[in-house]
Amino acid sequence: MKNTHSFLEISPSVNEALKSGQPVVALESTIISHGMPYPDNVATALRVEQTVRENGAVPATIAILNGKLKAGLSVAEIEYLGKTGRGVAKVSRRDIPFLLTNGKPGATTVAATMFIAEMAGIRIFATGGIGGVHRGAAETMDISADLQELARTSVAVVCAGAKSILDLGLTMEYLETHGVPVIGYQTEEFPAFYTRSSGFGVDYRLDSPAEVAKVLATKWLAGLAGGVVIANPIPAAHEPLAAPIQVATEAALAEAQRLGISGKEVSPFLLGKIKELTGGESLQANIELVLNNAMLAAKIAVEMS
């Protein structure tokens, strides 16, 4: 897709990289405004960008600001998103026209980030974990827009699997139904965000950035539109014990149900509650897995270029 859309604004560094064929990695902004408290959110965002640079690629953090779809943010813009926090709208695909119309700021979810990344011509995106099918979805029909975006948008998403607060089995079934390949990076098991294992397998295991890049190029050159999940487990040294995470997750889910929390507010509430119940251990794990994903995404982008 051409990156000359009137609503799209690409930062000078990202624009120069795209024009000259340098590797670029897209990064989401919901993690800044809704995923972590200030100043951890800003510090983490800047560390993630630096990790991308250290591994040979140009970072493009994505958000909606001043009526524009922004691919590449300044430090001041990242600081603004971090300080404003939940005063910034959490934006998925459906919300984009409203934010563009009213000029209000928006932090992009996985789905919205993928949409803007593809518009800008960026093929690789690093995040923490993708959304998925929520537990109890048979009654609520609560399924993240991330999954449908993966089915339609040709961007590869490097993540630590799907968040453990979800129904991982149904999430994998949904991805299979919609033709989205799930690659396990140096693993045959789908990671569960904070933990390296989930009990569910991946479609294919690949062990090097070059292998992943070759498969991505082949998929899109063959005319197979749509995204790819690259499941990259949290490093073993930073993996929390599974049992306390599971106990905290179940308690957080019960609390969310009791309070009637639903829709786009579910994930931020659950992640915040899990952080509280684990004494901050889950937050540190979240930071480490995002950095790990940024490193791998940059290496894949380098091979793609």
Which of the following is catalytic: 28, 49, 77, 281? 28
Phi, psi (5° rounding) for residue 3?
-100, 40
Angstrom distance (rounded) from CA 74 to CA 84: 15
Strands 156-159, 228-231: pairing is parallel
Q: Is 219 a catalytic residue?
A: no
Written as one string, the DSSP assignment of the chain is --S--TTEEE-HHHHHHHHTT--EEEE-SHIIIIIS-TTHHHHHHHHHHHHHHHTT-EEEEEEEETTEEEES--HHHHHHHHHHGGGSEEE-GGGHHHHHHH---EEE-HHHHHHHHHHHT--EEE-S-B--BBTTHHHH--B-HHHHHHHHS--EEEESBB-TTB-HHHHHHHHHHTT--EEEET-SB--BTTBS--S-B-SEEE-SHHHHHHHHHHHHHTT--S-EEEE-PPPGGGPPPHHHHHHHHHHHHHHHHHHT--GGGHHHHHHHHHHHHTTTHHHHHHHHHHHHHHHHHHHHHHHH-
Q: Is 2 a catalytic residue?
A: no
Which of the following is catalytic: 70, 90, 163, 275? 163
Catalytic sites, residue numbers: 28, 163
